[in-house]
Structure 1
Amino acid sequence: MSGDAPELAVPFDAAPLAAEPLETPRLRIRPLASADGDDVWEYQRLADVLRFIPWPERDRAEAQEHTDRRAASTVLAAAGDGIHFACELVGEPALRAGGGDRVVGDVMLRLDSVESARVEIGWVFHPGFQGRGLASEGAGAVLDLAFERLRAHRVHAILDRRNDDSARLCARLGMRLEATHLADDWFKGEWTDTEVWAVLREERTAFVAR
């Protein structure tokens, strides 16, 4: 493990990625925009999506307000700051007015500690597009951005233990299960367990190079 001091590249502004998005074989990845509200609503309202994430049920207007708030944050500078990246499936028509490619999921980066260069990652994808490796593409690209551009030392994900799909995605990204906290969260009317998955910069580099 490297003994180099942390060198997190903050403030990090994701706004330029709106004009020059990240590209994967099938996805275009850029900061979430208010205009994505229709596409996001299509998965934000689904029971299968809401089951494991701390989103309440929202009506269409409330969901748009939520998308607006997330889209307004594009800079990581201090602990607690977050950015949400829209994952557009190239060639899949958007539901929003004006056309374009459809947002089928989004990936979050949240700054946990500047001093320790520690970052949290999270994601949500439309279940209708599961089984095609799109979440691995989108989350993998944002994970690499966290290490290569933001210069994170460690990236972690916090999951509901029952969320097997996200646990498998963590493993596909080269993350390790570090801890399981039993009955630590009173979540939607019941005690639930939390898993913490993480990967260090050098681990991700070695995993990608395999």
Structure 2
Amino acid sequence: MFRPALPIRTARLTLRSITLDDLDDVHAWQCRSDVVRWMYGAEPRTREQSRASVLAMSGEDVLRAEGDCLTLAAATDAGVVGIVELVWRSELNRAAELGYVFHPDHGGRGLATEAATAVMDWGFSEFDLHRIYARCHSRNGASARLMTRLGMRQEAHHVESYLHRGEWADQLVFAILAAEWRIRAAAAGRRSSGSR
């Protein structure tokens, strides 16, 4: 059983388990068509659908077996602004998939990058992952840019690989290895210590 020591604190965020108290914040983005447009099979949710989603996510706070999902709320003083998740895809290959959803009103400030970085740090250092990957619709430029900022490289462009809203869609796959993450973290540490 693998569970991070919560909460995880970053410079501007507290990453913690989701609770039913977060329903209003989560529903605020789950009801928006501009947020769910790139999600697989997702439609804007009613409040009751968001309530069911929050209840499901509140139980995703530990990784016991392949397929389990760790979902954390990214909270500021203003409330929960997004979620970040890590899905355990392979025990043998020590691989996990990164996912995230943030309210657009909080975009452009690096909060998603900050949250994803913290979860990836835990995944590589505490959960001993070898590889973390993430996927997005080929036209979801914001998600692709986020993966690039995280140091992930684009490994694949799957042409018409899945049905999305009744049309064949291309999918981009990005990934980073633990060794690459450690090199990147060491370089970032040198930059920050050298700027003092």
State TM-score, norm by structure 2: 0.91
Q: Does 1:87 align with 2:74?
A: yes
Distance 2:48 2:39 in 1: 20
Q: Percent identity?
A: 39
Residue by residue, what CA displacement relative to the aligned partner does 1:123-166 show, whole Å, maximum 9, x if unpaired? Answer: 00001111111111111111111111111110000111111111
CA contact (8 A) 2:27 2:45 kept: no
* Offset of residue 44 of structure 1: 1.0
Per-residue deviation at 1:33?
1.8
| Gaps in structure 2 of 5+ consecutive residues | 188-196
Secondary structure of the equivalent of 2:85? strand
Q: What's 1:12 paired with?
A: 2
- 2:115 maps to 138
Q: Which amino acid aligns with 1:47?
A: S
Q: 1-side partners of 2:3 and 2:65: how far apart? A: 12
Find the counterpart in structure 1 of residue 193 from structure 2. none
Alignment of 1:195-210 (within 5 A): 195-210=172-187
Q: Distance in 1 between matches of 2:123 and 2:17?
A: 14
Name the SS for the 2:146 alignment partner.
helix
In 1, Cα distance between the equivalents of 2:18 and 2:183? 30
CA distance in 1, matches of 2:33, 2:96: 28
Match of 1:62 in 2: 49
Q: How many Å apart are 1:73 and its aligned residue?
A: 2.1
Higher helix share: 2
Q: Where do residues 1-210 of structure 1 align in structure 2 (5 Å cutoff)? A: 11-14=1-4, 16-17=5-6, 21-54=7-40, 55-89=42-76, 91-92=77-78, 102-210=79-187
Q: What TM-score comes out, normalization by structure 1 length?
A: 0.85
Query: Number of matched residues?
Result: 186
- 1:144-192 CA-partner distances (Å, limit 9, x unpaired): 1111111111000011111111111111111010001000110112111
The higher-RCO structure (CA 8 Å, 6+ apart) is 1
CA contact (8 A) 2:152 2:176 kept: yes
Aligned equivalents of 1:188, 1:155: Cα separation in 2? 27
